Structure 1
Amino acid sequence: MNFKLRKYMGPNFNEEKFLNAPNVLYEEVKTEGVAPDNYHAMSIYPEYFKIDGKWILAKESRMDGVVVINDNLELEVKEFRNLKMGDKVIVGRTEDASEGIYLHANGFSQIDYEKDIFAFRGERSRETSYTKDYEQLYELLKYEKENGYVVWVLGSAAVFSKGSRDAMAKLIEEGYVDALLGGNAVATHDLEAGMFNTALGQDIYTLEPKHNGHYHHLDLLNKARKAGSIEKLIESENINSGIIHACVKNNVPIVLAGSIRDDGPLPIVISDVYKAQDMMRSHIKKATTVICLATQLHSIATGNMTPSYRVIDDKIRPIYFYSVDVSEFAVNKLRDRGSLEVTTIVTNIQDFLVKLKENLV
């Protein structure tokens, strides 16, 4: 295997600016769920904080979270809503060590050439060559299957065609998926395909609209709610194909976050948005690679809680993040929201998943 993790080069804390830097300051939370003024908000990059003369890395991070020093002088990154009375929140809005806070943005950089100031096709679009990206992704997923935790975020386009649905199910069966995140629609239409071979009433292979097909997803939802769980639905309706079936069969965790648009929804859907966010983050905290397909909102939500690094056995490694969509706007939107470390691929989701299956299985 040719794949190698990008090596992390940490700061040189023997430099004068680090040695002379003060210890970081903190203030205690006076109102539950409210950070003190001048709180320090986190980025996606490794950040170090000087405590009792030592520079300490926040091992688990989240963009826009705040940093709490616990009783063991360890760092926790929390959302505002999870702050408790007495939490010691780090304050300071510089990132250059002058307040005991240092953001290290270039730890994984591998720049061995100088780019021209002027060059064509600097952005990612439908005209970009993705050959190298695919080849690197194949090798990455082979590596992660044995060494990492791969989280997939799916939109319903992944199940609207037989090819992509079958390919994704095969990737799950072969161990390339450790957790699945999404919304009500992706699971609803996948299970609809398992029962009726349709998605929103259209045959997923021939594209033929079925008589009364617009009832299919509603009938599926009604049967699922009657069954009480997707596991019981799969058993009672003898569903033996698809993404959700593969997850259940192979014990792959599924987190479905509710939406105001949802029909039904399925019994597994988490209607409390903050509980759903917490469940999503429980998997993002373990993720070493994240792949988002054809879902702008869930991709941005996942990107906002995914740092650029992970600490495993005291070693710092990169988190690889992919956003794949047929729309250039959708993949570039994620970059606009601060997730600059994302690799974007503009392509049809069926083509993407089938290509992965053919090169990995």
Structure 2
Amino acid sequence: MTPSQPATEVVEAEGHLIDSQLMNAMFDTVVRHDGAFEVLEFRIGRTNDEPSFVSMRVTASGTPALDSLLAELVTLGCRVARAENAHVVPADRDGCAPEDFYSTTNHQTSVRLNGQWVTVERQRMDAVIVVEKGAGGTDRAVCRKLREIRKGDAIVCGVHGIKIVPEFQARDRLGFAFMSNEVSSERRVEVGVARIADMMRAAKKAGDRIAFVAGPVVVHTGGGSYFCELIRNGYVDVLLAGNALAVHDVEQALYGTSLGVDLETGRAIEGGHRHHMRAINAIYRAGGLRKAVESGVLKSGVMYECVKRNVDFVLAGSIRDDGPLPDTIMNLVEAQDRYTAALQGVKLVLVLSTMLHGIGVGNMLPAWVRLVCVDINPAVVTKLADRGSSQTIGVVTDVGGFLHHLAGALKEN
């Protein structure tokens, strides 16, 4: 049997390669694939703004091994040096892509079409890139989920003609040390809260939208009133949550309890275990959350403030939900689509004690959207911080106390 011939390709990368540990990651990737590399050119950026550049020849045992290696190098920001257009193959049936379709990351991506680099729209991870005609007949590239593919769609395949720009770690380490994806429960919460409050003020000053992804713990820990304060002060443009947040928020508004526990005294109320079911029943009788507010049935709470302030809220259901509320979307595909639509144009996301919805939203976001995860469990914060973005901030603390500090910090100045 004739042994396969070694295959080689020249790749390039540009950016803050050393600060962000991308250079080491590239070398490690080649070695892990039993390949070899030769650095042809390396220029180190001399200022905070000047990027570094590397050109290297990578070699693998054969073409299949090289293709596998290149696919992983592309996710680290490498691009094939040869100026080739992206390889586009039509889908042969609905919901299915060609076998070698390119699976996206959450980093900014461009594809080469007709000799021009075109920025991919609706960037997100775990999607395919579809090429279609835009206004004026120009080519545009758009991320789509597998289920959105239709027969005949032009799907980008392979790794040629694809360029990724990873989010780089800032070189201004002193000024932006907090803006890292390190997770620690040993930092003063007030310091983190002050920085996050500054980010929120800056976002509103720039006209950007802020989204919150919240779990029922917001209500259980007594943070509901502080969250309402954020809504009234215009810091919440989008609320994404599950059925439980709304149910226990309504329970607290109608009966003063959450899971049957009096939030003022911390004591379980006799018969309190029925309160959340009575809350669901009351909203059903009113015809939904909006009608409950309009009719005066619901007079306070997070959902009340969202309705009164026209905050865009989406409630996504799950298999464990009681009720659910009439506003809760139990169709998973519809809920994902509504979440995705609500997140368009959002530049800052705060995830408050909800691993399920938080990770789901994290997967929908491009890497350049800043994401703050607040949870008492360090493992949850770490999972979100590992989504591949240097823009992720983890705060390990009680969410009720966090909201208390945040509402106070936003009152200052």
Coarse TM-score class (shorter-chain normalised): 0.7 to 0.9
Q: Are 2:111 and 1:61 equivalent residues in the alignment? A: no
CA 1:39–1:88 in 2, change beyond 3 Å: closer, same or farther? Answer: same
Which residue in the other structure is 2:213 paired with?
Answer: 153
Which residue in the other structure is 2:241 paired with?
Answer: 182
Structure of larger gyration radius: 2
Indicate if the aligned counterparts of 1:195 and 1:237 stay in contact, CA closer than 8 A.
no
Q: Are 2:267 and 1:211 equivalent residues in the alignment? A: no
Amino acid at match of 1:60: R
Residues 26-68 of structure 1: CA distance to partner in whole angstroms, max 9, x if unpaired?
1111110111111111111111111111111113211001100
Indicate if the aligned counterparts of 1:148 and 1:287 stay in contact, CA closer than 8 A.
yes
| Whole-Å separation in 2 of the counterparts to 1:79 and 1:340 | 24
Which residue in the other structure is 2:153 paired with?
Answer: 87
CA drift of 1:253 comes to 1.0
**Which SS does the other structure have where 2:300 is aligned?**
coil
Indicate if the aligned counterparts of 1:68 and 1:75 stay in contact, CA closer than 8 A.
yes
Which residue in the other structure is 2:199 paired with?
Answer: 140
Aligned runs of 1:5-20 on 2, under 5 Å? 20=82
Aligned runs of 1:221-232 on 2, under 5 Å? 221-232=280-291
Indicate if the aligned counterparts of 2:293 and 2:307 stay in contact, CA closer than 8 A.
no
RMSD between aligned residues: 2.4
Which residue in the other structure is 1:103 paired with?
Answer: 164
| Whole-Å separation in 2 of the counterparts to 1:353 and 1:279 | 26
CA 1:153–1:22 in 2, change beyond 3 Å: closer, same or farther? Answer: same
Indicate if the aligned counterparts of 1:304 and 1:338 stay in contact, CA closer than 8 A.
no
CA drift of 1:225 comes to 1.4
Q: Are 2:100 and 1:38 equivalent residues in the alignment? A: yes
CA drift of 1:20 comes to 3.9
Q: Are 2:325 and 1:266 equivalent residues in the alignment? A: yes
Aligned runs of 1:247-286 on 2, under 5 Å? 247-286=306-345
Amino acid at match of 1:47: T
Indicate if the aligned counterparts of 1:11 and 1:104 stay in contact, CA closer than 8 A.
no
Matched residues, number: 330
User: Which of 117, 121, 128 is 2:187 aligned to?
Assistant: 128
**Which SS does the other structure have where 1:74 is aligned?**
strand
CA drift of 1:130 comes to 4.7
Q: Which stretch shifts more, 261-270 or 220-229?
A: 220-229
Indicate if the aligned counterparts of 1:154 and 1:293 stay in contact, CA closer than 8 A.
yes
Amino acid at match of 2:157: V
User: Which of 236, 254, 265 is 1:195 aligned to?
Assistant: 254
Residues 90-129 of structure 1: CA distance to partner in whole angstroms, max 9, x if unpaired?
011x3xxxx11111114x5422569xxxxxxx94221134
| Whole-Å separation in 2 of the counterparts to 1:12 and 1:328 | 34
Which residue in the other structure is 1:315 paired with?
Answer: none
**Which SS does the other structure have where 1:188 is aligned?**
helix
Unaligned runs of 5+ in 2: 1-47, 57-78, 175-180
CA drift of 1:18 comes to 7.5
TM-score normalised per structure 2: 0.75
Amino acid at match of 1:69: V
| Whole-Å separation in 2 of the counterparts to 1:192 and 1:139 | 33
User: Which of 378, 384, 389 is 1:334 aligned to?
Assistant: 384
CA 1:49–1:9 in 2, change beyond 3 Å: closer, same or farther? Answer: farther
**Which SS does the other structure have where 1:58 is aligned?**
strand
Higher strand fraction: Structure 1 or Structure 2? 2
Unaligned runs of 5+ in 1: 1-7, 115-121, 310-318
CA 1:227–1:182 in 2, change beyond 3 Å: closer, same or farther? Answer: same
Indicate if the aligned counterparts of 1:256 and 1:269 stay in contact, CA closer than 8 A.
yes
Indicate if the aligned counterparts of 1:161 and 1:205 stay in contact, CA closer than 8 A.
no
**Which SS does the other structure have where 1:128 is aligned?**
coil
CA drift of 1:286 comes to 1.7
User: Which of 335, 359, 366 is 1:307 aligned to?
Assistant: 366
**Which SS does the other structure have where 2:303 is aligned?**
helix
